[in-house]
Amino acid sequence: MGIRRPLSGRGEREMADELIKAAEETAGVVARLKRRMIDDAMPLWSTVGWDPVAGGFIDRLHRDGTADAAAPRRVFVQARQIYCYAKAAQMGWYPEGRAIALKGLEHLLARAKAPDGRPGYVHRLTPEGAVMDGRRDAYDHAFILFALATVYALDKDAQVRAEIDALLAFLDGHLRSPHGGVHEGLPVSLPRRQNPHMHLFEAMIACFDATHDLSFQNRAGEFFALFLANLYDKQKHVLSEYFEEDWSKIEPVSVEPGHQAEWVWLLKGFERITGCPTGQRRAELLATALRYRDEATGCLIDEGDATGNIRRSTRRLWPQTEIAKAWIAQAESGEAGAADEARAALVRLERHYLSHPVRGGWYDQFDRDGKSLVDTIPASSFYHVLCAVTEAEQVLDG
């Protein structure tokens, strides 16, 4: 055996410098992401990302940062952008966000709410603002409700509250399923998905925070009960995605680790507004989500199966924001090491997805080799990124 030589002084210094640099990168990540939101993303998506002719938010940008004005306008994206600007105004990050959110809401109500004379909001608009798809989609309505709650939190405007109540009446009168939860939309279709229910749960929590109306605790409680009874497998600790009308699972079960992580954060929010303990389920969901990671980057992959195998090794942006929020929720609960894990997740988000040549833009999806799979910059990701950064500031740096 040869004698092991000590590292040269230069090698030791380089290692020490790298460790210091990594520690600084992690320690400062929340502040850097906040500045990125305020200085880059907010101005980009309210100027290039707004249609000055027809009104409304642009659905996506080309990879060079110019507007894809010909892309159809998904209504849930309009709602998400309204949320982003209202939230940034609420946080004191971007005071002009209030006017932008109100302008977006005015456009949404004028173009997407019952333009064909039937109740509810349509699914998709043409770039000119005409109805392209008149379906009433439950997922869309969850985000419209979420946006309305966030706008209402700014001014407590009675008209906005009336829109919240009208949307709730539509959910109760038209979308409720006799088997529990809501239909996918109108016309009714299968499979049923956990995803709209997760975001309606999120919207009810946001409505309670905005109004302090106890009825929203009860509504959130209905979705929590649905989660425990039908969506979540308490033996396998797996959240199922697709169901028949009667909530029987569609096999083989699809597992999206990003949704597992998202429920961790939502359950913490439910615990906060109700006092109902959720720690056991949060720990289970997080442990399952962490089984589905890309070895090279540590990022969550897009889909696995119920036994822990990876089904799709691609990795989108949004699961990375949700695993950060899951760790933030655990840090808020005092779990040892969770804050460090949250910051590490945010560093991965910053390094792999937000390092786009367009300032305020992002990469949406990579393959297992790290090749970008989406040429455009979708507006839909803004909600995920902003939510993660606002949560991080409030909990990690608050």
Tens digits of residue pLDDT in 144-155: 999 999 999 999
pLDDT score of 285 more than 80: yes
Burial (CB < 10 A; 0-12, 13-18, 19+), residue 95, is exposed
User: Which residues, at least 6 apart from 59, have a Cβ–Cβ distance to it below 8 Å?
Assistant: 68, 71, 72, 73, 74, 77, 378, 379, 380
pLDDT score of 6 more than 80: no
**Domain assignments of the chain as residue spans, ordered by start:** 25-395
For residue 12, the model assigns a pLDDT of: 82
Ranges 3-12, 15-24, 69-78, 321-330: which has the least confidence: 3-12
Neighbouring C-beta atoms of residue 110, cutoff 10 Å: 12
Tell me how far apart the alpha carbons of residues 268 and 332 are, in angstroms, rounded to a whole number. 9
Arithmetic mean of pLDDT over the chain: 96
Which own/partner contact pairs does 157-165 have at CB distance under 8 Å and 24+ positions apart? 160/105, 161/211, 163/109, 164/207, 164/211
For residue 4, the model assigns a pLDDT of: 52
Average pLDDT estimate for 263-287 = 98
pLDDT score of 22 more than 80: no
pTM, full prediction: 0.95
Cα 83 from chain centre: 11
For residue 14, the model assigns a pLDDT of: 81
Contact between 184 and 243 under an 8 Å Cβ cutoff? The reply is no
pLDDT score of 20 more than 80: no
Nearest to 182 by CA among 253, 215, 147, 230: 230
Residue 108 in tokens: 């949404």
Give me the helices (H) in the chain, please: 9-27, 29-36, 42-47, 75-90, 97-111, 138-155, 158-170, 194-211, 214-226, 257-274, 279-289, 318-332, 338-352, 381-395
% of the chain residues with pLDDT over 70 = 96
For residue 27, the model assigns a pLDDT of: 87
Tell me how far apart the alpha carbons of residues 40 and 232 are, in angstroms, rounded to a whole number. 39
* pLDDT category of residue 23 using cuts at 50, 70 and 90: confident
Neighbouring C-beta atoms of residue 340, cutoff 10 Å: 13
* pLDDT category of residue 293 using cuts at 50, 70 and 90: very high
Contact between 268 and 332 under an 8 Å Cβ cutoff? The reply is yes
Cα 357 from chain centre: 23
For residue 398, the model assigns a pLDDT of: 65
Tell me how far apart the alpha carbons of residues 283 and 377 are, in angstroms, rounded to a whole number. 33
- Write the CATH number of the domain with boundaries 25-395: 1.50.10.10
* pLDDT tens-digit series, residues 177-224: 999 999 999 999 999 999 999 999 999 999 999 999 999 999 999 999
Nearest to 387 by CA among 326, 341, 334, 339: 326
Angle at 365 between CA 23 and CA 22, to 5 degrees: 5
Contact between 20 and 41 under an 8 Å Cβ cutoff? The reply is no
For residue 13, the model assigns a pLDDT of: 79
For residue 1, the model assigns a pLDDT of: 46
* pLDDT category of residue 298 using cuts at 50, 70 and 90: very high
Nearest to 243 by CA among 297, 292, 197: 197
Average pLDDT estimate for 160-188 = 98
How many alpha carbons fall within 13 Å on the CB side of residue 319? 25
Ranges 23-37, 126-140, 297-311: which has the least confidence: 23-37
For residue 153, the model assigns a pLDDT of: 98
* pLDDT category of residue 10 using cuts at 50, 70 and 90: low
Helix (H, G, I), strand (E, B) or coil at 79: helix
